[in-house]
Amino acid sequence: MRKALRRAERGAVAGLVLAAVLVVSAAGSSLASDQASVELPDHILLTTGGWPPFLVEDHYQQGFIAHLIRDVFAEHDIDVEFQFMPWARAYQHAAAGQAHGTAVWMDQAERHDDFLYSDPVLEETFVFFHRAGHDFDWNSFDDLRALIMGGVYGYSYGPAFDRAHADNIFSVDWVADEALNLQKLLRGRIDLYPQEINVGYANIQSTLSAEEAAQLTHHPRPIHSDYSFLLLTAALPESEPLLSLFNRTLADFREDGRYERYFERSAAGYYQP
């Protein structure tokens, strides 16, 4: 009798487990069905403010990060168009659903209300540019006391930099564009120019002569490192399945070495007009 009861108990437990599995399976199938029912576009529009050398309107493929994003979606026969405009408008345009998304942005909590974030597309490293003849070294922001930085209105160079500036450890001479900062650095009107390392050298190459460019260098210690992401508009039903495709294929590009080739070609001048 006890054996019969145990067999019955085991049968009841097995039935409960099977029922639970079926419920979970049905939920997963429903989710997959919901995503499958969303018709994916064969053409998507992404806004950007431009970020040389990553996203540049007049470069081949509009820069190597634009090329990377375009090629990832092309694996699924989806064409990508980039529309260049001021950064604030690029954000607002995409958040309002007038584009499928915007590229590329660092993570900020308030942006999650408007967008779904991809996996990291790019790691950016900010450094100090200085005159080659300036014997400059630093280990902490306290070492920068009494120095004058050149900054661009609306830019952040990382939370540690922003705190040091707020604490008056150094002063920042703010300007409207990068080219003016480089000219001021050459003429000794500022001591340091903080910028993402690739962006800094792209600006040097595009705005200075070879003789002037040779007068500038950078300190290897990073000010700040962070990731940038593709943002897809949260209000659009196709954004979630598009993002799933993008993340999966971007991981494939990283795994098989294709991802690094975009950076190598950029360093070799492949994308220059």
> Of the candidates 209, 224, 239, which is a domain's last residue?
224
Query: The pTM is what?
Result: 0.74
C-alpha closest to that of 199 among 172, 166, 228: 228
Residues pairing with 93 in the sheet: none
Domain assignment present for residue 24? The answer is no
* Distance separating alpha carbons of residues 20 and 15, to the nearest angstrom: 9
Q: Are residues 141 and 256 in the same domain?
A: no
| pLDDT number for residue 4 | 41
Identify whether the C-beta of residue 68 lies closer than 8 Å to the C-beta of residue 116.
no
Q: Are residues 150 and 203 in the same domain?
A: yes
Q: Where are any strands of DSSP class E within 119-236?
A: 122-131, 148-152, 171-175, 193-196, 216-218, 224-233
Residue 33 in tokens? 């069905």
Q: Are residues 136 and 211 in the same domain?
A: yes
Q: What is the count of structural domains for the chain?
A: 2
Q: Are residues 137 and 220 in the same domain?
A: yes
| pLDDT number for residue 177 | 82
Q: For strands 43-48 and 101-106, give the pairing.
A: parallel
Domain assignment present for residue 252? The answer is yes
Domain assignment present for residue 53? The answer is yes
Domain assignment present for residue 163? The answer is yes
Q: Residue 18, by phi and psi: left (phi above 0), alpha (psi -120 to 50) or beta?
A: alpha
Domain assignment present for residue 73? The answer is yes
Domain assignment present for residue 170? The answer is yes
Q: Are residues 119 and 231 in the same domain?
A: yes
Q: Where are the alpha helices (DSSP H) in 150-271?
A: 159-166, 178-186, 197-207, 210-213, 239-256, 258-267
The CATH code of the domain that includes 89 is 3.40.190.10
Q: Per-residue pLDDT for the chain (273 aa), expressed as one digit of tens each? A: 334 434 444 444 444 433 443 333 443 433 344 455 788 999 999 999 888 899 999 999 999 999 999 999 999 999 999 999 988 899 999 999 999 999 999 888 889 999 999 999 999 999 999 999 888 999 999 999 989 999 988 777 888 999 999 999 999 999 988 889 999 999 999 999 999 999 999 889 889 999 999 999 999 999 999 999 999 999 999 999 999 999 999 999 999 999 999 999 998 889 988
| pLDDT number for residue 36 | 56
Q: Are residues 236 and 215 in the same domain?
A: no
Q: What are the CA-CA distances from residue 10 to residues 7, 24, 35 (Å)? A: 5, 21, 38
Q: Are residues 230 and 118 in the same domain?
A: yes
Domain assignment present for residue 2? The answer is no
Residue 199 burial (CB < 10 Å; 0-12/13-18/19+)?
middle
Identify whether the C-beta of residue 77 lies closer than 8 Å to the C-beta of residue 44.
no
* Residue range of the domain that includes 173: 124-224
Q: Are residues 167 and 218 in the same domain?
A: yes
C-alpha closest to that of 54 among 273, 220, 263: 263
Domain assignment present for residue 195? The answer is yes
